[in-house]
Amino acid sequence: MSNRRSRQSSSAPRISDDQIIDLVTKLRQILPEIGQRRRSDKVSASKVLQETCNYIRNLNREVDNLSERLAQLLESVDEDSPQAAVIRSLLM
Amino acid sequence: MQPTSSMKEEFLKKWQMGLQIYRPLIDNTSVSERRKAIKLSADVAMASLRKGTTCWSRALIQKTATEDNFLVRQMLSGIKAETLINKKLPKVMCHRKIVRRSKMILRRRQSRSAIEEVAAKARKLIKKKTQGLRNVVPGGEFMSNDVLLIQETLDYIVSLQTQVNVMRSIVDAAEAGSER
């Protein structure tokens, strides 16, 4: 597994195999649904990176969604109603 | 690596602070303006959790500052805001010429075995996918070091999870409170 001996240690920012494995493991742990599908770390590293991009995009989309819902809520709530008080206490 | 409750608390406090700043405006604006305000304060709150220690958080603050300079300055206190907003993003190993040269040298020197061929292909694949990451992580375009990129990604994801987590709880609670 160690290609390290044959590789020059240069200033080029290349990932070593161990670094890849380590980081991909961490990514796997925080991505919600990546099954332990393959043993081969190289191939699944690529898949993990792809899933990571998708996951980040989904999270951002959800934030937009939540912001929209909240904006709607604030709009529709009557200034003096108890609902307004609830929202205000939660947020402000 | 999970969003901790102290991260969530801190995010909530900062987000609330941002919303407070918008308070006088909130009553008089359209829904889309309000949405933008909510999102921007959430982003600054999330980024400020890192206190300028990560590349993505600095990039996000700078980006938000271009959309609403006032808000960012208010949310980050005083001097810190100045340095964070104006600080040049680090030229993290953007020494492309050096990288290119050393890659060329490496290629010339290596005589490839079959295993190395496979590894090289895998690297190319990974290179393509890391490009995708650079597009979604704030400041990714400045991270030519792949290790840094992935580390930043990890941190960014945990922060995003914190943000989503807290916002979801608040919005759910607020909506529940609004139902008759």
Query: CB–CB of B72/B45 below 8 Å?
Result: no
Whether B57 maps to a domain, the answer reads: yes
Whether B121 maps to a domain, the answer reads: no
pLDDT digits (tens, 9 = 90+) for B13-51: 999 888 888 777 666 678 888 888 899 999 999 999 988
Among partner residues B118, B144, B174, which is closest to A90 by beta-carbon distance? Answer: B174
Token duo for residue B2: 């999970």
Which residues, 6 or more positions from B90, have their beta carbon under 8 angstroms from its beta carbon?
A: B55, B142
pLDDT at B159 over 90: yes
- B19 contacts chain A (CB < 8 A): yes
Query: CB–CB of B40/B73 below 8 Å?
Result: no
**Choice between B41 and B177, residue whose per-residue pLDDT is larger:** B41
Quick one: average pLDDT of B67-72?
A: 84
Angle at B66 between CA B60 and CA B70, to 5 degrees: 100
Whether B76 maps to a domain, the answer reads: yes
Q: Which amino acid is at B105?
A: I
What is chain A's length?
92
Instruction: Provide the chain B residues 142-161 that lie in CB contact (below 8 A) with chain A.
Output: 144-148, 150-151, 153-154, 156-158, 160-161
Whole-number pLDDT of residue A14: 54
Among partner residues A10, A19, A46, which is closest to B102 by beta-carbon distance? Answer: A10
Chain-chain contact of B168 with A62 (C-beta, under 8 angstroms): yes
Token duo for residue B169: 């709880």
Q: Which domain holds residue B146?
A: 5-93+129-179
Q: In this structure, how many other beta carbons lie within 10 angstroms of the beta carbon of residue B19?
A: 21
- Show residues of chain A in contact with B20, CB under 8 Å: 92
Chain-chain contact of B123 with A14 (C-beta, under 8 angstroms): yes
Number of domains in chain B: 1
- Show residues of chain B in contact with A74, CB under 8 Å: 26, 34
To test the contact with chain B by mutation, choose from A4, A56, A64 the residue with the greatest count of B C-beta atoms within 10 A, namely A56
Chain-chain contact of A70 with B106 (C-beta, under 8 angstroms): no
CB pairs A-B closer than 8 Å: 166
- B60 contacts chain A (CB < 8 A): no
Query: CB–CB of B133/B140 below 8 Å?
Result: yes
pLDDT digits (tens, 9 = 90+) for B103-153: 777 666 665 677 777 777 777 776 777 888 899 999 988 887 777 888 888
- Show residues of chain A in contact with B129, CB under 8 Å: 46, 49-50, 53
CA B57 to CA A56: how far, in whole Å? 15
Q: Give the ipTM of the model, two decimals please.
A: 0.75
List chain A domain ranges.
15-89
C-alpha pair distances (Å), B118 with each of A20, B124, B127: 15, 10, 14
Whole-number pLDDT of residue A12: 39
**Choice between A4 and B22, residue whose per-residue pLDDT is larger:** B22
Whether B84 maps to a domain, the answer reads: yes
* Helix extents (H) in chain B: 5-26, 31-48, 55-67, 69-75, 78-86, 96-109, 114-136, 146-178
Q: Which residue of A has its CA nearest to B175?
A: A73
Whether B122 maps to a domain, the answer reads: no
